[in-house]
Amino acid sequence: MNITWEILLWGFGIAAVMGAVVNKTNFCTMGAVSDWVNMGDTGRLRAWIFAMAVAIAGVLVLQVLGVVPASLAVSGEDSFPPYRTATFAWPRYLVGGFLFGVGMTLGSGCGNKTMIRIGGGNIKSVFVLVTMGIGAYLMMFTNFMGTVFLPWMQPAFIDLKSRGIQSQGLGDLLGAAFGAGDTQVVAYLVGGLLVLALLIWIFRSADFRRNFDNVLGGAVVGLAVVAAWWVTAGPKGQAWLEEAGFMDQPPLHVGAQSFTFVSPSGDLVNWVSRGLAEYLISFGMLAAAGVAVGSFVYSIVTRKFRIEWFVNFRDFANHVVGGFIMGIGGVLGMGCTIGQGVTGVSTLALGSFLTFISIVFGSALTMKIQYYKMVYEDEASFTKALITALVDMRLLPPGLRKLEAV
């Protein structure tokens, strides 16, 4: 077996375990936002943030032990997506994250959840995958992003290297701000303190501590992300990168990477459209397939496999549009709830934190708009629901409220 397929199958296997556990524990990032916004329940939100803390800690351990070279694991040049690139493209993180949050709410789940639901028998999520893939394909393999987004975004990008800063990693940023000589040591300190602070906040909740599924889900997702970094950026990954350098046609996206679930849908469309060429099969594609297979096996073993179909045309339209917006926003923001919210955050990239915040905001705002339109029906125009939702989120003054709070 060549090194490429060895790494791809590692990604598939790790993701399959994650898929089974995520199905069992109902780890869901959209559900985390919904529970928090609609019920004030932070259990699944803490599970998501626990996954972040585990992933950050795991990457730090790999780096300290020398298992994964810091420059390979998180550099903008050798990772996919380039989380710590020295080009701080903040409009992409904010707009892309917001669009992804809107899309995942309309589509009933993020990219990872879409694969979980497909494995569990949800046909609606197959449509989400297809339209998400089309949106991602347009952004990755055509001039769509360069025509629609980059012309007005690029002037606002910040070139950190021109300011003497090597990357947008928190270690480099804070090291430059305080004149520290060894920014990697700063990264270790910042990462360690951040993990400690997150764990204190997470486990302050007795409800979270008593909920085994939330603890298990967060731990496994975080460890899966770390394991994927170990595979693609450790000794195997370095051999993969070296071998690809001698190939006339290297595999797609060779380099240090972990789990993300939007760009692989674009890779899938590209693979199909270009005749199923083997070199176009990416690590992300096998990982997404692994999540679906793991979820499927769990669903069959526990007899929870259920075929689900659309309730009506509106349900169909929401899922199709939501998937497409997820594809656009996920590539624009360089990742999804897992790709940026856990994998990207594990590299301590500032852009990943911005994307995470924007995803949560976009999803929460969409949920509130949907809620007001459901309660008030014809009385609630989109504008009224939007303004009222922004008032609820304390982003507009109370005097602008258009609908009574419910």
Between 401 and 77, where is the model more confident? 401
What confidence tens digit (pLDDT) does each residue in 278-304 have? 999 999 999 999 999 999 999 999 999
Calculate mean pLDDT across residues 84-104.
96
Q: What is the DSSP letter of 159?
A: E
Q: Residue written as tokens 């060779």?
A: 254
User: Which pLDDT score, from 0 to 100, does residue 134 have?
Assistant: 98
- Interval 188-204: pLDDT, tens: 999 999 999 999 999 99
pLDDT of residue 78: 59
Average pLDDT over residues 118-136: 97
Which among 275, 346, 243, 293 is positioned nearest to 5, based on CA atoms? Answer: 243
pLDDT, position 74: 56
Tell me the domain boundaries of the chain: 3-74+92-394
pLDDT (tens digit per residue) in 138-197: 999 999 999 999 999 999 999 999 999 989 999 999 998 888 778 889 999 999 999 999
Nearest to 376 by CA among 343, 396, 401: 401
User: What does the alpha-carbon distance between residue 138 and residue 328 come to, in Å, rounded to a whole number?
Assistant: 8
Evaluate if residue 389 carries a pLDDT over 80. Answer: yes
Whole-model pTM?
0.95
Q: Does the structure show a pLDDT above 80 at 75?
A: no
- Assess whether pLDDT exceeds 60 at residue 243: yes
Q: Is 60 exceeded by the pLDDT of residue 76? A: no
- CA-CA distance, 92 to 22, in Å (whole number)? 29
Q: What is the average per-residue pLDDT within 315-332?
A: 97
5 vs 292: CA distance, rounded Å: 19
Rounded distance between C-alpha atoms, residue 81 and residue 256, angstroms:
9
- DSSP track, 165-217: ---SBHHHHHHHHTT-S-HHHHHHHHHHHHHHHHHHHHHT-HHHHH-HHHHHH
pLDDT at residue 312, as a whole number: 95
* Residue position matching structure tokens 């993990």: 195
Using CA atoms, how far apart are residues 243 and 248, in angstroms rounded to an integer? 11
Q: Provide the 10 A C-beta neighbour count for residue 17.
A: 16
pLDDT at residue 81, rounded to an integer: 81
pLDDT tens for 46-60 read: 999 999 999 999 999
Mean pLDDT of the chain: 93
Burial of 151 (0-12, 13-18, 19+ CB in 10 A): exposed
| HEC-encoded secondary structure of 303-370 | CCCCCECCCCHHHHHHHHHHHHHHHHHHHHCCCCCCHHHHHHHHCCEHHHHHHHHHHHHHHHHHHHHH
CA of 378: how far to CAs of 162, 385, 392, in Å? 53, 11, 20
